[in-house]
Amino acid sequence: MSTENLTNLPSVAQQKLESSNTYGVQSACLHDQEIPELDLFSPLKIRDLTLRNRVAMSPMCQYSAENGVANDWHFVHLGSRAVGGAGLIMVEATAVTSQGRITPGDLGIWDDAHIEPLARIARFVRQQGAVVGIQLAHAGRKASSNLPWLGGKPLTPEQGAWETVAPSSIGFNENSPVPIALDERGIEEVITAFVTATERALQAGFQMIEIHAAHGYLLHSFLSPLSNQRTDNFGGSLENRMRLLLEVARRIRATIPEGMPLFVRISATDWVEGGWDIEQSVILSRELKVLGVDLIDVSTGGLVPHAKIPVDKGYQVPFAAKIRQEAQIYTAAVGLITEAEYANQIITRGCADLVLVGRELLRDPYWPIHAQCSLDEETDWPVAYGYAVKRQKRR
């Protein structure tokens, strides 16, 4: 696909959104160029939930669970970023079935034993004033891999490998096992697994749900014609390739309270000719909006190993801007967003409604507070730290 018109961060003047409030936020053309109505530290209200700011912690796998159970590492990892000031803390890709794990170290939510360890984390995050969400996932043909620091290659039978599933019997690469093509019964079991995982997430106290349909995992692999070569109702046409994700979204929306937000992460393009692309992503986003999805979390790539991705500062932001404009739905921007001023411009220029920060939050758990400082905002230190920090500043 051509990305000629998607390589630069749009300015306010370039935005052509209608001057209305059709999807919950004033459009970019209403922003004053010097004093914008919205910025990175403006609250964001979605349904009954209000985020204290527009900085979210991107879901980042820690590969540190045992049998899918969250432990003290996850508690400190996620809790410290809530203390650090992020408005939304998103728990990493959490497998809806044991078969849907990327690695043996993935978090899971396929068993009731997973609920309380996750609930402990959710309670603490909420106590710090952040909203807590969870990303529900199934790895599909990219499952049954070793931990990344052990090479990340497909597990051998001696290492405990398990069967993988996909829309078609096409491996991720030449070294990957050939997955089992799901039949319609298997597809229904996947849908049911997402629904029961959602029910457990509600029991654990999560305040929003994100469906992971990106990065080459199961739901994304159904969307792309490169990995989906089916000839039944789940393959072929765009309508058929979207069917599984749309049904998962419909069933989850019917399961959660009306006031609870529902996000979907997509890969806006495969970065490969003949694959999934931004035009199809816009159509998908419109359909998801009709079903009650509130925000599209816009990433890219991950479907095939040979894709040439022009990784650079904010390289995925233009995709979020296009989906926001053409589908009239909230979007989140993610990918090499490390600087406070740049993150702020993404909001003030109307490119996205939420900024997801990933690796920079690993480097600096207090990135949101440091961003407030660099943008001359009032810093929001936690009470137990703020007294000492502000006292030191006066000296």
Residue 208 lies in a domain: yes
Q: List C-alpha distances in Å: 211 to 112, 137, 164, 225, 328.
A: 20, 7, 19, 20, 19
Residue 29: its pLDDT value, please?
37
The pLDDT, as a whole number, for residue 75 is 98
Flag whether pLDDT at 8 surpasses 70. no
Is residue 14's pLDDT more than 70? no
What digits encode the pLDDT tens for the residues 263-290? 999 999 999 999 999 999 999 999 999 9
Q: Which one of the listed residues 23, 63, 217, 315 is annotated catalytic?
A: 217
What percent of the chain is predicted at pLDDT more than 70? 89
The answer to whether position 7 is within a domain reads: no
d(CA 133, CA 206) in angstroms, rounded, equals 5
Q: Would you say residue 4 lies in a domain?
A: no
* 20 or 221, which is more confident: 221
DSSP reduced 3-state for 312: coil
Domain count, the chain: 1
- Catalytic annotation present for 315: no
| CATH number of the domain to which 287 belongs | 3.20.20.70
- Please indicate, yes or no, if residue 188 is contained in any of the structural domains: yes
Overall average pLDDT of the 123-135 stretch: 98
Q: Is residue 6 situated within a structural domain?
A: no
Query: Is pLDDT at 242 greater than 50 in this prediction?
Result: yes
Domain that holds residue 95: 14-394
| pLDDT average, residue stretch 80-100 | 98
CA dist list (Å): 266 to 122, 124, 169, 218, 391 = 24, 29, 22, 12, 45
Pick the residue with more confidence: 122 or 32? 122
- The answer to the question of residue 9 being in a domain is no
